[in-house]
Structure 1
């Protein structure tokens, strides 16, 4: 087998911008995670530690995203005919799952700290949280700039992580300030639980999106009935059935359908017209259309029903014709 399988050349994603962005964010995050864990342990602040747990999940998320992006540039082969585009979705799913689990962990620890509060070194907590805030602002800015150029569920999930981080850094700073002025230690677990809630919301959103793609559901931006009608409007198409539309990865869609056609029109012309309709109107470039004759491919009862309808229409048409004929005479 040759290195490339030329039948599948388009299932590749080049994402140079996303790649650069993710490398930068990965290094910065890794560095700051270490700072935050050390700071969290020294100052005994749960908010800081929960923030660092969040940061670890970010490092994991970014790592997965990097792998996904590198795999997406690998060409399809005889076994993986769609290339490795799907890995992006699996990575996002695991990512979302990691976020949700971390959120639950933070909640449990927060409740534990509510019951028996622990002393906190708020000055250290404040310094580290402030550094964290600056790092997060920079990263969020960099990632959102990258998102404007390339839609990517991975960069999007990384962005979600950082928006969560930004909020939690702000939360940690507020909590450190409140502890300083009021001496009430329970602000720390309270803020960490709020952070947990935010992380959970982000995680479940990512889980839902990737789950829908893994379940081969019709992507939200498409309306299957509408597409079916548009295909049916193509000259020569008499019926559309067995239709499937799914996403391989973000912005990479495939469609298959069977159509009963008018035998008087060249099938190639019909296929061309359908492909052009799908591409121009919906941006779907990978479609497989199977031409059928209802009497040869009846699909069980379906074809028989269709033929019955056609005959009834035909009779009605003839009937009208005779009627008009009589009127003329």
Structure 2
């Protein structure tokens, strides 16, 4: 695995720099949009500021992930500090849901009690926000060749935020040309829907990781079948546990095998299969020569098969 670390520090430094610059730009303009939204009376600007908060938080979590991934594990934190980024993402998602609910509530109130909106100030600030998003996206897109998942995810967040800025500009132009202020709460609800979607996905993903859930795409039953097919000595795979730490899958499993001539070589083949087929770099494999007889052996079996097994025992 030496080849994967040869230029990692340089690329990590470059990614950290890109993420920090993009975070600083996004956070600064988020504050500007909050102030501008309050001064101009534009709810759409406040909604877009909420959307920029999602991006600023995503960039900060990505930056923390780069930083914390360097910190070595210790006897107290044997997996390092990567789970902190998941906790930050979870708190961020909860805050966003609350912000979205407040903006939607205020938008509904404004339909019944319209307020004046300063279209000129709204247009100026929305345009500045668009420039900020374009700058952030350009900085992050330059890092996409690094194939860093955090940087790519952050760039997608910023790309989504461009829509909010374009929408706020459109609303400001409509208010300036027609004086029709209901476009402001209408647009704020549309932008809030974008924030809600991002926040809900982030909440589900971070909660799944905090609850030691398996990755969404991970097929435990498929792994059992494929491991038995790929390695003829494997008779049965059971007691499979998969979870995530900092978006990295970890696994423990029991493998019943035909007693091999070379124990270490067979273990190495199993690890190679897990690494190349399922991208699991950290797996603890317990090899057994006798069939498993405990209740936990059928942990990942379908319910019907499990009940059939119990019926057969009785």
2:46 counterpart residue number:
49
| Helix, strand or coil at the partner of 2:143 | helix
2:235 counterpart residue number:
238
- Residue 176 (structure 2) aligned to one of 176, 180, 194: 180
| Helix, strand or coil at the partner of 2:68 | helix
Q: Which runs of 4+ in 1 moved over 4 A?
A: 300-303
Q: Structure 1 pair 34/79, CA: closer, same or farther in 2 (3 Å)?
A: same
Q: How far did 1:147 drift?
A: 4.3
1:221 counterpart residue number:
217
Q: Residues 301-312 of structure 1: matches in 2 within 5 Å?
A: none
Residues in 1 aligned to 2:176 and 2:260: alpha-carbon distance in whole angstroms: 84
For the 8 Å contact 1:230–1:277, the answer to whether it is kept is no
2:304 counterpart residue number:
none
2:265 counterpart residue number:
269
For the 8 Å contact 1:54–1:102, the answer to whether it is kept is no
TM-score (normalizing by structure 2): 0.82
| Helix, strand or coil at the partner of 2:35 | helix
For the 8 Å contact 2:55–2:161, the answer to whether it is kept is no
Q: Structure 1 pair 106/138, CA: closer, same or farther in 2 (3 Å)?
A: same
| Helix, strand or coil at the partner of 1:270 | helix
- Residue 130 (structure 1) aligned to one of 114, 127, 130: 127
For the 8 Å contact 1:65–1:155, the answer to whether it is kept is no
Q: Structure 1 pair 89/154, CA: closer, same or farther in 2 (3 Å)?
A: farther
Q: Deviations over 1:32-68 (max 9, x none)?
A: 2333233223222111222234334544443344333
Q: Structure 1 pair 146/97, CA: closer, same or farther in 2 (3 Å)?
A: farther
Q: How far did 1:302 drift?
A: 6.1
| Helix, strand or coil at the partner of 1:136 | helix
For the 8 Å contact 1:92–1:154, the answer to whether it is kept is no
Q: Structure 1 pair 30/277, CA: closer, same or farther in 2 (3 Å)?
A: closer
For the 8 Å contact 1:93–1:211, the answer to whether it is kept is yes
Q: Structure 1 pair 119/207, CA: closer, same or farther in 2 (3 Å)?
A: same
For the 8 Å contact 1:99–1:199, the answer to whether it is kept is yes
Q: How far did 1:255 drift?
A: 1.9
Instruction: Report how many aligned residue pairs link the two structures.
Output: 289
| Helix, strand or coil at the partner of 2:82 | coil
For the 8 Å contact 1:235–1:270, the answer to whether it is kept is no
For the 8 Å contact 1:88–1:154, the answer to whether it is kept is no
Unpaired stretches in structure 2, ≥5 consecutive residues:
299-314
Residues in 2 aligned to 1:302 and 1:42: alpha-carbon distance in whole angstroms: 64
Q: Deviations over 1:160-186 (max 9, x none)?
A: 542343111111111111112221111
1:326 counterpart residue number:
none
Task: Please say which of residues 97-106 and 71-80 is displaced more in the overlay.
Answer: 97-106
**Structure 2 residue 193 is matched with structure 1 residue 197:** yes
**Structure 2 residue 115 is matched with structure 1 residue 118:** yes
Q: Residues 37-76 of structure 1: matches in 2 within 5 Å?
A: 37-76=34-73
| Helix, strand or coil at the partner of 1:84 | coil
Q: Structure 1 pair 256/282, CA: closer, same or farther in 2 (3 Å)?
A: same
Unpaired stretches in structure 1, ≥5 consecutive residues:
1-9, 304-329
For the 8 Å contact 1:133–1:169, the answer to whether it is kept is yes
**Structure 2 residue 10 is matched with structure 1 residue 22:** no
Residues in 2 aligned to 1:71 and 1:123: alpha-carbon distance in whole angstroms: 44
Larger Rg: 1
Residues in 2 aligned to 1:33 and 1:302: alpha-carbon distance in whole angstroms: 52
Task: Please say which of residues 139-148 and 112-121 is displaced more in the overlay.
Answer: 139-148
2:146 counterpart residue number:
149
TM-score (normalizing by structure 1): 0.78
Task: Please say which of residues 285-294 and 206-215 is displaced more in the overlay.
Answer: 206-215
| Helix, strand or coil at the partner of 1:117 | coil
2:294 counterpart residue number:
299
